[in-house]
Every structure is written in C-alpha cells, then in structure tokens.
Amino acid sequence: MNFWLVLAANSVTFGGLLFLLSAGFSLIFGLMRIPNLTHGSLFMLGAYIGVTFVAGLLGFGLNFWVAALLATLIVAAFGGLIERLLLRRLPGDALAQVLVTLGLSFMIADFCLMVWGGDPLNVVTPAGLGGFVRVGAAAFPLYRLAIIIIAAIVAAGLWLLLDRTRLGAMIRAGVDDPDMARVVGIPVSRLFTIVFALGAGLAAFAGIIGGPILSVYPGLDQDMLPLALVVVILGGTGSLLGSFVGSIIVGFIYNFGQALLPELAYFVLFLPMLLVLILRPQGLFGRHVP
Amino acid sequence: MSGRVFFFAVALAALVTVPFWTPGIYYTNVASQILFYGVFALGLNVLVGYAGLVSLGHAGLFGIAAYATGFMLQHGYGHSAAIVVALAIGLASTGVYAVVSLRATGIGFIMITLALGEILWGLAYRWISLTGGDNGISLHGRPAPFGQTLNSPTGFYYATLVVFIASVVAVAVFVRSPFGAALMGTRDQPRRMNALGYHVWAIRFYACLLSGLLTSIAGILFVYYTQFISPQTLALTSSAEVLLMVISGGPGTLLGPIVGAALVVVVKSVVSGFLERWNFLLGAIFVAIVILMPEGLVPGSARLWRLAQRKMAPSAKPAATGAKP
Amino acid sequence: MSRKFSRRKFMAATAAGAAAATFKFPMPAIAQAAPFKLGLLTVKTGPLAQGGIQMEQGVLTYLKEKNNMMAGRKVEFFSADTGGNPAGTKTKVQELVERDKVDSILGPLAAFELLAITDYIAQAKVPLLSLAAAEDMTQRRPNPYFIRASATSAQFMHPMADYAAKEMKLKRVITVSEDFAFGYEQMGGFQQTFEENGGKILKKLWPPLVTPDYTPYLAQIADCDGVCQGFAGSNPLRFMKQYAAAGLKFPVVTGETGADDALLKSYGDEALGIVSCVPYTMDLDTDGNKRFVEAIIKDFNTYPGQYAALLYVNCQVVEAALKALNGDSSDKAKLITAMRAVSLTDTPRGPLKFDHFGNVIGDFYIRKLGKEGAKYGLTLWNKTIKTYHNVGQFWTYDEKKFLEQPVYSRDYPPLKP
C-alpha cells in the first residue's frame, strides 16, 4: 500500500517537474516551430547560475526563490539574444536550426564545465520545505509536493498569458499566420524574441527548481533533453493542456514502469513514445500533424 | 567543368598519397576515420539531404552492423562471413527501421528515429548475452583480402579508401539517376509526386535501404578500425554527431558530408590534443557556419568563391555584382 | 556544509591546471638523458569529466612535487582527452603511442575505454597503469602490460561486506547500483562475502545509468536492515539526497565511489552515517598523504578523492620502477616487470605491492561519514574506523577456485530464494 501510494504521489510530482522542463520547449516548438535542442543546456545553465547565487556569489547567499528568479531572468535574456542574433536568420530552415541549437548546447555545456568544474553541486532544499508529509505510514518529501504546486501555478500563468492577454492573442496570431499578423501591425519578430526568451527562462527556472532533487552536474543537459522530447511527443506540441497532461502521464510511466518492469527500464519511456508516434503522430493532444 | 575535374583529380591524388605527406602513422589513422565517418555521413545524407528526412537514430543502424560483425567473429566465423552477415543484418534492420519511421515525415520522422535509436541503445546495454553489455565485444584482427594484411594503419587506410571511393561513386550515380531525381522530387514536392503517380512511400523506403547499406558499411569499417564495439557508439550523441557532420558540410551535396566528417574528426582527434576546450570550439564553429554559410560549408564556400570570382572580374555586368547567387 | 565558493581562486586554479595540461612541459635545453615520456588518457569533457579532471590533478601534483623529474630524468607529459567514449580512447592511445612515443600510459578512466584498448596496449607493448576497475583485466583475461594500483570492483566490496556482516551485524541487505558492469561487479563481490558471513541479499536493484529520479527504486527499499549502494560519478550525491528525502533511514554501506572524499564538499546532512570501504582516504594520517592533500587543496582549490590520489600513486609506481632500472625505460618488458615488482610503503594510500596479475595488494579503509574530525575547512569528514591490511583481489578465496567461477554479473551470484 505504501509502495503504491509513494509511486502514485511521485508520478504526479515528477510530472510537475517534467512540465516545468518541457513547457519551454513545447512553447517554442509549438509557436515558432523551432526544435530548440539547446533546451537541456539552458536548463542546466539555469541550475548552475541559481546554485551560484544561493551559495553566495557576491559574498552573501541569496534566498532560494530570489536566486531562482534571477537565474530565470538572466537565461531568458540570453535566450532573447540567441533568437535575435541567430535564430531570426533561419526562418523555416529546420536543419540550420538544429545545427545552431546543437552548436550552442556544446558551447554552453563546455562553458559550464569551465566555470563550475566537474564536481556535482548540491542545491540546498529551500527553508521550510525540507520536511515530510506523512500519509499513513508513508513519508513524502514536502519539496516535491511544492513542485507540483509550482508547476500548476506556472501552467495557469502561461494559460492566462496566452489565452487572456493581448500579448497572448498577438503571439497566437503571429503563429497562425505571420504575414497577415504583420499586415495588421503586429510586431511578429519582436514577439518571437519574447517567446523564445520566455521558453529559455522557463527552462532555466525548471533547472533551479529541480536542483534540490536532481543536483547540478555536467551531463545534466543530456540527461534531461530526451525527457523533454518524450513529454512533448506524448502530450502534443503547442497545446498547454497537452503538455501538462503529457507530463503527468510520463511521470506515471516513468515511476510505475521502472518499478514494475525493471528489465525494461531503458525502454520504459521510448517504447510508449514510439507507439504514440506510430499510431498518432500528432501526440495525444496535438492539434495538427507535425 | 574542367575546374571540377581538376579539383577531383587533385583530391584523389592527395587521398591516395596520404601516408606519404602526413607527418606520421597517427595521421594516417585520422585519415581512415575521416573516410569511414565520411561514408556514414554520406549514408545519412541520402535521407537528410536528398529525401528531406532527418534521422536522429542512425547511430543505431551503424551500431547494429558493427555488433553483427563483432558477434560473428566472436563465434568463430571468418571475416568474409562476418561482413556478409553484418551487411545482411544491417539491411534487414534498416528495412524494419524504415517501415516504422516512414509512418510520419517531418518532425514525426525525427522523433520516431530518435526513439528507435534510444531503444537500440538500450538493447545494446541490456541484451548482454548478445552484445556483452557495456563490456562490449572485442575484435582480434582484421581481414586480409587478396593476402594483404590490413593490420597496419597504411594497409587499413588503403582498404578504407577503396570502399570510400566506391561509396562516393555509388552516391554520385544514385543522385544523377532517375531514382535520385524522384527522391528529390519527393523531398521538394511530395504531393505533386504522388499526383504524378510516383509511389512516394516506396521511393523513400528504397532510399532508406541505400542509406542503411552505406551506414552498415561504415559501421563495419568502424569496428574493424577500433577493434571494439560497445553501447556508447549507439548513443544519441553519436546520432547527433553524424547529423551535425551532414548539416555543417552541406546537406544535399556530394562533398558536404565528407567535409563535415573531416571537420568533426579533425577537431575531436587532432585539435583536442592542443586545445582543452575543443568541445566549445566545435560548437562555436557550428554557430559560425550557421551565421556565415547556413547552407553548409561546401555550398557556402562555393557561393563565396563565386562571389570572389565575380568581384575579381570587373568586366562582369554591374547588375550581377550585387545579386545574391 | 560546503566550502564558500571562491570563484576567483577556482578560476585561477582551473586556468593553471588547464594551461599546464594544454601545453606540453618544456623540453630540456641540455638533456642528460632523453626525457621520460608519460601519457595520460583522461576525460576532460562531458559527464565523465568529474573523475577525469581529478585524475589529471593527481598527476600534475606529483610532477610538481618532483620538479618534473623521475629517477633523474626530465618528464615530458602528454595529457589526452578521450571524450569518454571507446572510439575516442582508441584514437588518443594511438596518438600517445604512435605520435608522441610515450614510455608509459596512465589511465584511462572508464572500464569500457580500457577494454577498447587492451589488445592494442599488449601489441604495442606499452605499460598501462589504470584505475578502471574491470575485474577480468587482472583475472580471466589478464593483460601482461597492465598494472592496477587502485582496486578491482569487488576488491573493496569484500572487506565492506565482511565489516557489514561482522561489525555492523547486518543480516538483510538490499543492493542498489547502476545497471552496468562496475555496478554488477561491486554488488556481486559484496553479495558473495556477505552471504558467506550469514547475511542475505533480499533484492538487487539496477537503475539505468541515466536516472534523474531514483524514487521508483527507493520505493522498493523496505523490510531490510541495510542498503548497499555502488553509485559513481555525480550519482551518489543525487541518490543520497533522494534517499534521505524519501525518509529512508536504513544504514548505507558503499564502496570506492559512493562516499568519495572529493564529494565531501558537495554532500550535506543526507550523507551522515554512510560507511564506505576505499583504497584511499584523506583521513590517513601519514606525512606523505598530508603533503599530497595539502598540495591538491593549494593548487586546485578542491579536495582529493580516489581519482586524484590513485593517479598520484601510479606516478609513484612508475618512478619506483624507473629507479629500479636506473632510469632505463627502453625495454618495455623490463619496465612492466619492474612496475609489478614495486613495493611501496609511503604512498597516500598506504603500503602496496602487486600480485602476479598486476593487481594491487594493499590496505583498504572502512570509514564512517560524520562531522567528527573534519579537517581542511570541511564540515563533513570520512573518519577511518577500521583498516583491512594486505587485501588482494581474491580476498580470502582460493585464486584458482575464484577464477573458475564466472565473473560477477547482473545474475551472478544468483539471489538466494
């Protein structure tokens, strides 16, 4: 009973972390049709920057949440720069986009190694969230429960932004028909920069929020990027609801799959991904076939 | 035209004499690597460049041929049997790979191939009785065709060169053939091709087989070169690496993948001996290529060469100098 | 918990280390004898860089201490980055042997890298000193040009199991380690000795190498009295954090990598109480070790763990062998024989000698992680609680019988019903 409870609870909370990880990728891919393969590196960069602020870059340590916000803003700005200087030149050129995003991920990964070294960095669980919640005989870490709440807040915020604000309407117009949108006076190029920055910022935020669970180490980017891709595929691209539900589903597959089918641990995510792609290439919630 | 013939003649001469003008057998070995990674990239380019299908799982096919060779040799078979069986298994696997992946195109194809590549990688780790797990399979020795031993770096280089030239010729013939034209048609205008009565799926399927054949050949050369195969070779990073070779060199060109292979191999093997941050450099080179020559090194250089020629020929029409090629 | 992050010092040290490694040491203007060429196969990029960087630090510390001389000869040091994959390792070992013409090679880091080049090394007849723990390199498929001053995967697990059964009085243990050969061999060794001393392994869990969240495995840890883990690299940190966060309180025992001293600066309270068995401990109170530890702290602003220390020890072995041959490294067969004949007492890992397979026989230290005895500005410390002397790769088993049993794998030894 304990076992099932813990796994179920973790499925939801791990799903929350996956949502934070993949929301940025899904946003950029869904809205700009760019496969942002730098996503994992931005996640890792955000984690490294965040942990540096927490540990005390300027002689004093910052509050975890402040550090997370700062890291998010820094990486978002960096993302905006990437879009403006590099990606803007390559509209629709998927191969060049792959080349530049992978090239950037090499550079960012090596930069992190240079600055922070090879040893893993511990991220202290923020104050007040280090304890347990007892459900019957099971103990569940409080911080993981906090993550699902954070994920829900972020999801709600994104939905509000895209569905209920003028900015969101402009973004959606720019995505559906960029030329028409320009004719109507929407600054599509500037919006794309904002969207990419937002996606990058989300990746960084996920990185530092995930820090207390995952720690930060070289190779974190390569470990997390495939997970983001699996979520995006299963949940469908460009759909926020799809992203959220997809994340929870992947959370369940990951937890129960690895626990109950240890022989298939390596395939527990990619087999379902393959099946979904074969049967329904647009993902479970996607609107259009990619 | 004669410029081209001249260029190829010089290139051929240079390749044939590599062991003589490079500073040591170490560089002959690097040249061998450039050649078989070149064949690998040529194989992937059949899909990426000419079919418009980006595969992120090709390292899996590369690995299957390598493992098949190793497995056969480990169980006492001779080199000829090992190579033939490896090619057969490679082709069969490519067939399955193609049937599954061609359920989608575009991003769907990329994701399916990524998933397949990851699954093959996982199999390489877990199917220990077949693959040895992460201990891998070690080879002992290379074939000796026509009595010539390939154990020396020079011997192996020349054998690889022969295979390489044959592969380049094969791809060149394919590109200029009706099949090649049809394939490029399916890349550029799939619906129109369909309307014209071409069986788009079948064309793509056969292209996959050609790609898989070249990839398997490269895998066999690789395992004979390294004398070892382990699951790392099938990792996502390996698939990404060969894709980067194709894109950075110039997809849809004959020489592009070879130049891309040379770039990556030289930075990884040679530059890494002088520069600790070679990974950063490689990434920076890719970014620079995107900024300066987004179509790839080979087409980009050709474009810049034509621009330079035009600038140096003042008798050219004024209208032409400002025009983009 | 962790040392104050001193970025400037770190950058300077990293730059110094990088510069030292990037550029070869200068050729002597007037050479009394040709320089001794020493190669290092390490990983400086990618996920394995953690251990790889430390390996190089160990070698650089030795060379600096000895003023770049070994047995009266200048040393020319070649550091090669294999990228952490077998093909890269093969390329780099060829570079070292064919282009740089090294006399001996240190490294590589990982077992799969070692397996990729073992035949080549035997053919090229170049002595290789590695700390990769692949058992069969000195057991069922020995390489005459190979020597290992660290340990086989099971070599530190046998005494750990002995201690766990006899002193910690554990009886029902669940093992959890990464799903690859290093994990299998560690847990296999632990299981064999543990079960012979009255213990029982209840379950063996094998999370894949890339497992961001260990919860599916942690949820299966119950109804036992201890956990044996064998994680390496960055994984021990993550595992212990998630272990503690899941509310698990069973005592944890581990081997060479699970509580490595290099991780002490990163670990937090979640690691308190881990018992580990290692070939090298910072806690060893000898002048030689103190000198080594202080040099690492000063030059690289970090703490030495297994990788740095054992490479330093390997350099000591090389120099001792060279001295025995009066500096003559021309006959490689004689060189490897001399290396295997080396017997040292003052190394950072204590006394050592080699068996006829080229594997070390030395002291192994059982330590407990706590706050007591912390030195050099650390908050946590691995305090030595027992030392096993003269431990070889076969433990107390008969060598012939041991070699007849299959190599430790996922399913060997099998679980008792």
Q: Give the list of residues 6+ apart from residue B95 with CB closer than 8 angstroms, or none.
A: B205, B208, B209, B212
The answer, yes or no, to whether residue A202 has pLDDT greater than 90, is yes
Q: Report the pLDDT value the prediction gives residue B18, as an integer from 0 to 100.
A: 85
What's the pLDDT at C29?
A: 41
C5 and A56 within 8 Å at the Cβ level: the answer is yes
The residues, ordered by sequence, that sit 6+ positions from A32 with a Cβ below 8 Å of its Cβ are: A175, A192, A195, A196
Neighbours of chain C (3+ CB pairs under 8 A): A, B
Q: How far off is chain B from C23, nearest CA to CA, in Å?
A: 7
Confidence of residue B317 (pLDDT cuts 50, 70, 90): low
> Per-residue pLDDT for C18 more than 70?
no
CA distance A272 to chain C (A): 18
Return the higher-pLDDT residue of A33 and A81. A81
Regarding whether B176 and B322 lie in a shared domain, the answer is no
Domain membership flag for residue B11: no
Domain that holds residue A22: 2-121+135-279
Any C CB within 8 A of B22 CB: no
Q: How far is CA B2 from CA A120, A135, B8, B175, C353, in A?
A: 58, 81, 10, 20, 69
Does one domain contain both B129 and B268? Answer: yes
Bridge partners of C40, per DSSP, are C79, C106
Q: How confident is the model at residue C19 (pLDDT cuts 50, 70, 90)?
A: very low
The total number of structural domains in chain B stands at 2
Which chain C residue is nearest to residue B136, measuring alpha carbons? C112
Residues B177 and B309 placed together within one structural domain of the fold: no
Domains located in chain C, CATH noted: 7-152+285-361 (3.40.50.2300), 157-283+363-404 (3.40.50.2300)
A129 domain residue, yes or no: no
Please indicate, yes or no, whether residues B175 and B316 belong to a single structural domain of this protein. Answer: no
Same domain, B224 and B321: no
Q: Are residues B116 and B204 in the same domain?
A: yes
Q: Does residue C242 carry a pLDDT above 60?
A: yes
Whether A47 maps to a domain, the answer reads yes
pLDDT digits (tens, 9 = 90+) for C335-347: 999 999 999 999 9
Yes or no: say if A11 and A145 are a contact pair by the CB < 8 Å rule: no
* List of residues 6+ apart from B153 with CB closer than 8 A: B19, B25, B28, B29, B32, C98
Q: Are residues C112 and B268, on separate chains, in Cβ contact within 8 Å?
A: no
From the list C49, C213, C241, the residue facing A14 with the nearest CB is: C213
Q: If DSSP codes are grouped into helix, strand and coil, which group holds residue C243?
A: helix
Whether A126 is in a domain gets the answer no
Residue A207 placed within a domain: yes
Residues B202 and B315 in one domain: no
For residue B234, what are its two tokens?
Answer: 């099938």
CATH code (residue A255): 1.10.3470
* Residue C321 pLDDT: 94
**What is the rounded distance in angstroms from the CA atom of residue B252 to the CA atom of residue B300?**
13
Token pair of C206 as six digits:
């094998």
Whether A215 sits inside 8 A of C237 (CB atoms) is: yes
**DSSP structure string for C44-96:** -SSTTHHHHHHHHHHHHHHHHHTTTEETTEEEEEEEEE-TTSHHHHHHHHHII
Residues 6 or more apart whose Cβ sits within 8 Å of residue A31: A171, A172, A175, A195, A238
Domain span holding position B188: 19-279
Q: Is residue B14 part of a domain?
A: no
What is d(CA A54, CA B64) in angstroms, rounded to the nearest whole number?
46
In this structure, the answer to whether residues B229 and B305 fall within a common structural domain is no
Do residues B198 and B304 share a domain? no
A87-136 residue pLDDT tens: 888 887 888 998 999 999 999 999 999 999 888 999 988 888 878 887 76
Query: Does B206 lie in the same domain as B323?
Result: no
For helices A220-235 and A270-279, the axis angle rounded to 10 degrees is: 30
How much is the pLDDT for C28? 45
> Which pLDDT score is estimated for A289?
47
Q: How many CB pairs under 8 A join A and C?
A: 133
> Other CB atoms closer than 10 Å to residue C31's CB: what's the count?
10
- Percentage of chain C modeled with pLDDT above 90: 77
For residue B238, name the pLDDT band (cuts at 50, 70, 90): very high
pTM: 0.89
Terminus-to-terminus CA distance in chain B, angstroms?
Answer: 18
Residues C376 and C151 sit within 8 Å (Cβ to Cβ): no
Provide ipTM, 2 decimals: 0.90
Instruction: Look at residue A266 and tell me if it is in a domain.
Output: yes
For residue A287, the model assigns a pLDDT of 55
Residues C103-150: pLDDT tens digits?
999 989 999 899 999 999 999 999 999 999 989 899 998 999 999 999
For range A48-63, the mean pLDDT: 82
CA angle C148, C152, C156 (to 5 degrees): 120
CA distance B59 to B62: 5
Q: Which two tokens stand for residue C352?
A: 């050592």
Same-domain check for residues B80 and B119: yes
Strand partners, C87: none
Q: Specify burial of residue C39 (Cβ count, 10 A radius: 0-12, 13-18, 19+).
A: buried
C320 touches chain B (CB under 8 A): no
Average pLDDT estimate for A140-159: 91
Min Cα distance B278 → chain C (Å) is 9
Which chains form contacts with chain A, at 3 or more CB pairs under 8 Å?
A: B, C
| CB spacing of C45 vs B278 below 8 angstroms | yes
Judging contacts by C-beta atoms under 8 Å, the chain C residues touching residue B135 are 111-112, 115, 134, 181
B286 inside domain: no
Cβ distance A132 to C205 less than 8 Å, yes or no, reads: no
**pLDDT at A162 (0 to 100):** 85
Tally the domains of chain A.
1
What's B66's domain CATH number? 1.10.3470
User: H or E element: which one contains C38?
Assistant: strand C36-42
Number of other residues whose CB lies within 10 A of the CB of residue C221: 18
- What are the residue ranges of helices labelled H in A33-121? 39-55, 64-85, 94-116
Q: How far is A224 from chain C (nearest CA, A)?
A: 8
List Cβ<8 Å contacts ≥24 apart for B187-194.
Answer: B187/B50, B187/B51, B187/B52, B188/B52, B190/B105
Q: What is the pLDDT of residue B35?
A: 96
Q: Is the pLDDT of residue A290 over 60?
A: no
